[in-house]
Amino acid sequence: MSGELLYGINEWVLFILIAGLFYLCAEVGFRYGRRHAVRLSSDAHSHVATIEGALLGLLALLLGFAFAMAMGRYDARKNVVMEEANDLQTTFLRAQLLPSTYRGESTRLLQEYVASRVAYYQAGADREAIERSLEQTNQLQIGLWSTAVAAARENSDEVTTGYYIESLNGLIDDHTKRLTAMDNHVPEAILMLLLLVATMTIAVTGYSSGLRHARLLVLRAILAILVAATLLVIVDLDRPRRGLIKVSEASMLQLQQDLSKFATEPRDRHTPAISSRSAVIRSTASAFSHLFALSISGTRIEGTRS
C-alpha cells in the first residue's frame, strides 16, 4: 500500500477539492485579467491567447500521458490476477498426479491457498487484514513446498512430481508479481506536476476571459469539473484497493467455487485406489475429466467478461 498523499484521500473528497481549486483559480484569474484589460494592448491580448492555447495543449498531453500510465498498471494488475488463477488451477490439476500419500494434503493446502488469495482481495484497504492474508499465504507456500519436496523424494518421476513442482514454483512467482503490481503506482511527482499544470492552465483561461470581460461561469465550471474528473479517474485507476475502479477477482472467485465443488464430491471419484493399476487409471481419468470441465467453464466465463 502506498503512503503517498493522493492515494490516502477519499475519491469524492479529492474530486471536490480539485474541482473547487480549479474554479477558484479561474475566478482569481478572471478578476486579475479584468483589472489589466485596459492597460494591455490588442497585441498583448493575442499573445495571452497564444499562451492559453499552448498551456491547454500541454495539459492535454500530460493528461493523456498520465492516463496511459495508470491504465497500463491497471491492465497489468488484472492480467496478474488471471495468470495466478490459471496457474492455481494448473497446480491443482497436477497435484492429482502426486503419490497418494501427498495428494490429499496438497489438494487441501491448495484449496486453502485459493481462500487466502481471495481474502487478500477482500481485505480492501484494511492493513491488518492484508497482513494476515499475506502471512497465511506465506505459511501455505511453505507447507506446499515441503509437501512437494517430500513427494519428490518418494517419487522423482518428471511427469508425476516434476510437473507439479514446476507449476508450484510458477505459483509462488505469481504471488511476488502480484505484490509488485499492487504497489506499482504512477509516481506521485507526475500527478503533482499534472495538478500544477492544470491549475495554472485554468487560471490563465480565467485571465484570458477577464481580458475580454466575459465571465463564462458555466463554461468555466464545465472545464473545472471535466479536468478534475479526469484526474480522479487517473488516481482511481492507480488505487487497486479503494475507489470506484477496482481490479476484478472474478477468475479467482470462480476458481474457489470450482474447487469447493470438487472437494464436496465423493472422495472415491477422485482418489485412485492403490491396489489396482486399472483403478488408478479410471479414477485419475475421472478426476481430470471433472477438473477439465471446470477449466472449460472458467475459460468461458473469462471469455464472456472480455
Residue 6's pLDDT is 67
Q: Is residue 217 part of a domain?
A: yes
What is the reported pLDDT for 253? Answer: 87
CA atoms within 13 A on the CB side of 143: 17
Grid cell of 143 as nine digits: 507447507
Q: Give φ, ψ of 156 to 5 degrees.
A: -90, 20
Query: What kind and span of H or E run contains 13?
Result: helix 11-36
Compute the distance between CA of residue 168 and CA of residue 141 in angstroms, rounded to an integer. Answer: 9
Torsion sign across C-alpha atoms 191, 197, 202, 203: positive
Per-residue pLDDT at 281: 36
Is there a domain that residue 78 lies in? yes
Orientation of helix 163-182 relative to helix 127-154, angle to 10°: 160
Res 305: pLDDT: 43
How many domains does one find in the chain? 1
Specify the 3-state DSSP secondary structure of 276: coil
List, in sequence order, the alpha helices (H) in 96-162: 100-122, 127-154
Task: With respect to residue 84, please indicate whether it lies within any of the assigned structural domains.
Answer: yes
CB 268 within 8 A of CB 50: no
**Three-state secondary-structure class, residue 235:** helix
Assess if residue 52 is contained within a domain. yes
Residue 31 inside a domain? The answer is yes
**Does residue 273 lie within any of the structural domains?**
no
Res 143: pLDDT: 93
- Asked, for residue 278, whether it belongs to a domain, the answer is no
- The predicted model scores a pTM of 0.74
- Collect the ranges in the chain with pLDDT lower than 50: 1-3, 268-294, 296-306
Q: Domain containing 80: what range?
A: 6-264
290 in a structural domain: no
